[in-house]
Each structure stands twice: as C-alpha cells, then as structure tokens.
Amino acid sequence: MAKRIDAKNLNIYYGKFLAVADVNFTIAPRSVTAFIGPSGCGKSTVLRTLNRMHEVISGARVQGEVLMDGENIYGATVDPVNVRRTIGMVFQRPNPFPTMSIYDNVAAGLKLQTGRIKRDELDAVVERSLRSANLWDEVKDRLDKPGAGLSGGQQQRLCIARAIAVEPQVLLMDEPCSALDPISTLAIEDLIQSLKEQYTIIIVTHNMQQAARVSERTAFFNLAGLGKPGQLVEIDDTQKIFSNPSERRTEDYISGRFG
Amino acid sequence: MTTVSTASTLGGTSSLRKAKDRTATTLIWLSFGVALVPLVWLLWTVVAKGLHAVTRHGWFTRSQRGITYREPGGGAWHAVVGTLEQVALCTAISVPIAVLVAIYLVEYGRGPLARATTFMVDILTGIPSIVASLFIYAAFITTFGGQRAGWLVSLALVMLMIPVVVRTTEEMLKLVPNELREASYALGVPKWKTITRIVLPTAASGIITGVVLGIARVAGETAPLLILVGYSPNRNYNLFSGPQGSLPGMIKDQFSNLGNTHVLINGHPATVHWAANRMWGAALTLIVLVMALNLTARLIARRSKVS
C-alpha cells in the first residue's frame, strides 16, 4: 500500500537559478528516511518537489523525474492536485485552519476533495485519524472547539491527523518538531514510529539526534560550495551514516566540525 | 586598583528625556482632541437638531406626500426606502465584482493584466461622484435612450463603491497567512477551492468591514441623485421607473425650501421651521441607518467566526 519513491537526476530551478543539482535516491515503502544538512542546502526544497508543492512559488521548476511506484509525478498528463492527495505534507509550524473546529480541521481534506460524505463515515474517519495521531483522548470531548485553541504540540498532532485523514501513501514532514518543546517532540517521534507501519515517511530535520532516533535511512545534503547549488552528498542506513560515513563531508558534519 | 565610579551605570531617566516625553504626550493628546472635536460637534448638532423630527409619530411610516414646506407632519419612509433600495442594488452588483477582482489581484495576477487592473482601480478611486453620474447619464439615457430612474443611481454608486471594496478586500486577503494556503494545497485541495473554502472565510470579517465602509461612502452621495433620478415626496418602491425619494434627496429638498417659513397662525404672521426640522431629521436618519448597517455587519461577522 505505501509507495516507494525514486528520484532520478532531479534538478531544481528557481527561475534561472539552479538551487539543487542532480539528486538521485530510492526510498523504500513503509520506512522512515531523514534528510539532514545545514541550513540553506536544499533539503526542504527537495522535500517539496516530492509532492509538487514547490510549484506554489512562481518560477520554481524541476528537471528530471520523481517516481512513485514507478509512475512519474511530473508526467505531462499528471495533475499536481492528485499527486498531493497521495503524498501528504506536515509543515514546520502547526497551521490548523483558524475558522474551523478540531473536527472540521481533520475532516477538511476529505470534505474539500470529494463531494458528499455521510456523517457517520466522516465521524469514523475523524476518530481513526485522531487516534492514529495520539490526540483522540485529549480532544474527544471538545471536537467542536476551534483548532487554534490547542497547545503547540497538540496543534502539530492535529495537523498530522489532518494529513493522514485523506489516507496518503507517503507522508512528508518538514521539520515537524522545530517549533515544539522536548516532550511534544517525543510524542511526535513515537507517533512516527507507529505511523511507519502504514506510510512511507520522509522527515527533514535539523536535529541529528532526532534523525538517529527516528529514521532507518538518512540522506545528507550540502552545498557544493559558496554560491553553488545544493546536492545530495550521501544516502545510506542511519547506523552507517552516523558511525562510519563514506564521504568526508558527511563525517565533518556529523562530528560537528561545521554546520 | 581601579577606583569604583560613584555614579551608577544604570542611572535614572534624564530630566531632558522626561520633558520630551511630556511634550510628545501632550501633543498627541491634543491632536486626538482636535480630531475628535469636529466628530463630536457634528454628532451633537445632528442629534440635537434632528431628534425633534425623528421622534414625531409616523416618521418611519409616512412619506412627504401632500405635505407643504410650511406645515409639519409626514415622515421619511419614502426616503428611507429609496436609499435602501438604491444602496442594496449597488451593493449586490459591486460586491461580487470587487471581491472577484481582489481575488484575481492577490491570488492569481502576476503579469501586465494585473498591473493594468491595479492601475484602473486606482483611477476609479479618484473619480468624483458627479463625473460617474454624468457617465451613466451619457451611456444609459442619452445613448440607450432610457429614463431617469433609481437603478441608474445604483449604477453610478457601483463605480464609486467598487474601488473601496477592492482595496480593503485585497488587504484582508493578503493578511491571510500563506501557511494556510500551503496546508490546503498539501491536502490535495485545488486552488479555487482553497480560495473559496479557506482563504475567503478566514478573511471574511475584514471583507465585510470593507463592504460596510463602501456602503457608508455611497449612501450619502447626492450628485447621482440630482442627475439620474428626480426626487419624489411620495412613496415609490419601483427602482426602474419614476422619481424616487432618498435620504440625501430629502435633505436637499427640505434645504431648498428653508426660506418657506412665513405662515399665518390665527391670523398673525409667524415663522416656522418645519423644513429645517425635517432636513435635520433626514440627516440623523441617514447617519443612524449607516451605523445600523455597520453594527449588523459586525454582528454577522462575529457570529460566523468559530466561537
């Protein structure tokens, strides 16, 4: 069910400026992969190209292919809206919809995509998603209260519930714990471990310890040089990256010699 | 060993700074007062002079049919209805157009068409109401051969209201954080649905405020009334034919007859001021009407927010 992601010769441009050059990787289904690297090296940019979210910025374009179970999401006939229904995303700062209640937030993806859904089906989906996001017990008595009235960690879990309510195959997470305290971060990391049984997860993180805790594979991105585009330096099993990386630059970054 | 300085490095506020602070505070309060004085004076004048007419029995149910300027009586119902109808038609036409233009400018427009549109809206902002009225006259009466009627007033008001609503709607849409749009796109929601179901509801109360501001601007415009529809002291519910009463129209009508003050009471000459009373009454009614619309709009906006 969860899909595999391949990137082939991926080059990302903003207008004429080449931001990230020649990225190639394979991500197995039902695994957690971490993207690490210093600020500005392109890891969030690459993440966004995996569900065509970079197209929201005018002038952003891509050369190369991103394959989901062999199907190129940049094919000529592919609708980006459909891509994003299969590949979901959670952002750095929690962004629940302010005019909607908790229930409506979780149901938003379904309600706004397809037409009519019966109330009981919707109830079931909302409960399932909130349980999967470990939020059900905390909010089950106040589902009609505004989504913005929760704490930061709860809001982020709400956004995760919202993302998984539409049953994507792949879940992209862009530094989901950056804005949260350590306890909420732990809650979300536990959540990722349980979610990976159903979804392929790719998480961008600044926190190397988090990458080591949470992921099976890690990809290290870095700038080729000052003013040069970002690139994928090394991708390998997390164990190997953090103990015995192949590339000198990876080892420098891991051991804190820079970045 | 260095000597310790006797003066503390933190120190107190210097007296020069205190003096500057006092001067600035005084100036700001004075400016506030100066700005407030005309407003309070205006409200006081209108309320004091208009209350007498407005509280008379029948002000809100009777028209001025058959009432001469030298006698009391009648009401402003014909004028209230006329103004409400004209403004309602204007709002029904301008708001959809203005909101769509604002959505285009904020969410879609990037190229020369967007720049041209913004420029046009800026120009419309500066058009005097009498020029807009002349244009409607030339188009609909001279060229298309129509008759003067209330709906033409609405058309002229549309030209005045659209730029106000476009600008405020634009500002409100820009205030919606981009992260909300991104969250919606990431769920696989198409752009148009994101705009109608996420962005617009989030900006709704601000947009409603903008609409009410637009209504406040056009409700009192008199030039279109003079050029495009005649004033009638009788009830006329038909926007599409015949002269129609309106609150600014009634104000002007009574104003033009302020000199009609000499009557005979029991054979003795006396001066009366019924026209003046009604004029102020109409002015007070207009202000109260716009304020009521404002409050209603705010209540609607508050109720539509998730509590």
Q: Residue A180 — pLDDT band, cuts 50, 70, 90?
A: confident
The confidence score (pLDDT) of residue B6 equals 57
Q: What is the ipTM metric for this complex?
A: 0.90
Instruction: Judge whether residue B113 has pLDDT over 50.
Output: yes
Q: Where are the alpha helices (DSSP H) in chain A?
A: 43-49, 80-86, 102-113, 119-132, 136-139, 152-165, 182-195, 208-214, 238-243, 248-254
How much is the average pLDDT of A129-142? Answer: 90
Q: A99, A101, A125, A145: which to substitute to probe chain B, counting the most B Cβ within 10 Å? A: A99
The confidence score (pLDDT) of residue B118 equals 94
Instruction: Judge whether residue A257 has pLDDT over 50.
Output: yes
Flag if B201 and A91 touch (Cβ within 8 Å): no
What single-letter DSSP state applies at residue B259?
T
Among A205, A220, A204, smallest CA distance to A253 is for: A220
The confidence score (pLDDT) of residue B305 equals 58
Domain span at residue A213 reads 5-254
Place of tokens 């952003």: A60
A56 lies within 8 A of chain B by CB: yes
Instruction: Judge whether residue A27 has pLDDT over 50.
Output: yes
Residue A89, in any domain of the structure: yes
The confidence score (pLDDT) of residue B125 equals 92
Q: Residue B306 — pLDDT band, cuts 50, 70, 90?
A: very low
The confidence score (pLDDT) of residue A173 equals 94
Higher-confidence residue of B305 and B237: namely B237
Residue of B nearest to A159 (CA): B183
CA–CA distance, A161 with A94 (Å, rounded to integer):
12
A115 lies within 8 A of chain B by CB: no
Residues of B in contact with A82 (CB under 8 A): 188
Residues of A in contact with B172 (CB under 8 A): none
Residues of A in contact with B182 (CB under 8 A): 53, 56, 91, 95
The whole-model pTM stands at 0.84
Kindly tell me the number of DSSP H helices and DSSP E strands found in chain A. Answer: 10, 10
Flag if B188 and A84 touch (Cβ within 8 Å): yes
Q: Which residues, 6 or more positions from A6, have their beta carbon under 8 angstroms from its beta carbon?
A: A25, A26, A27, A65, A66, A67, A70
The confidence score (pLDDT) of residue B307 equals 36
Place of tokens 């749009």: B181
| Mean pLDDT taken over chain A | 90
Among B296, B292, B302, B290, smallest CA distance to B205 is for: B302
Flag if A84 and B187 touch (Cβ within 8 Å): yes
Q: Residue B39 — pLDDT band, cuts 50, 70, 90?
A: very high
Residue A259, in any domain of the structure: no
Q: Residue B41 — pLDDT band, cuts 50, 70, 90?
A: very high
Instruction: Judge whether residue B136 has pLDDT over 90.
Output: yes
Token digits of residue B259: 């000199």
Structural domains in chain B, CATH included, are: 77-304 (1.10.3720.10)
Q: What is the pLDDT of residues B164-197, one digit of tens each?
A: 999 999 999 999 999 999 999 999 999 999 999 9
CATH number for A197: 3.40.50.300
Flag if A53 and B110 touch (Cβ within 8 Å): no
Residues of A in contact with B179 (CB under 8 A): 91, 93, 95
Determine which of A35-44, B64-73, B212-221, B236-245 has the lowest per-residue pLDDT on average: B64-73
User: Percentage of residues in chain A with pLDDT exceeding 70?
Assistant: 98
Residue A145, in any domain of the structure: yes
The confidence score (pLDDT) of residue A127 equals 93
Flag if B187 and A108 touch (Cβ within 8 Å): yes
Q: Which of A51, A93, A99 is nearest residue B186 as measured by Cβ atoms?
A: A51
Tell me the shortest Cα–Cα distance from B11 to chain A, in angstroms: 39
What residues pair up with A20 in beta bridges, in sequence order? A12, A230
Residue A227, in any domain of the structure: yes
Flag if A84 and B186 touch (Cβ within 8 Å): yes
Q: What is the pLDDT of residues B227-283, one digit of tens each?
A: 999 898 888 898 898 899 999 999 999 998 888 777 777 888 877 888 888 999 999
Residue A138, in any domain of the structure: yes
How much is the average pLDDT of B137-144? Answer: 92
Flag if A85 and B187 touch (Cβ within 8 Å): yes
Q: Residue B106 — pLDDT band, cuts 50, 70, 90?
A: very high
Q: Residue A215 — pLDDT band, cuts 50, 70, 90?
A: very high
Token digits of residue B206: 């601000």
Q: Which of B182, B188, B306 is nearest residue A82 as measured by Cβ atoms?
A: B188
Residue A230, in any domain of the structure: yes
* Number of domains chain A contains: 1
Q: Which of A88, A96, A112 is nearest residue B197 as measured by Cβ atoms?
A: A112
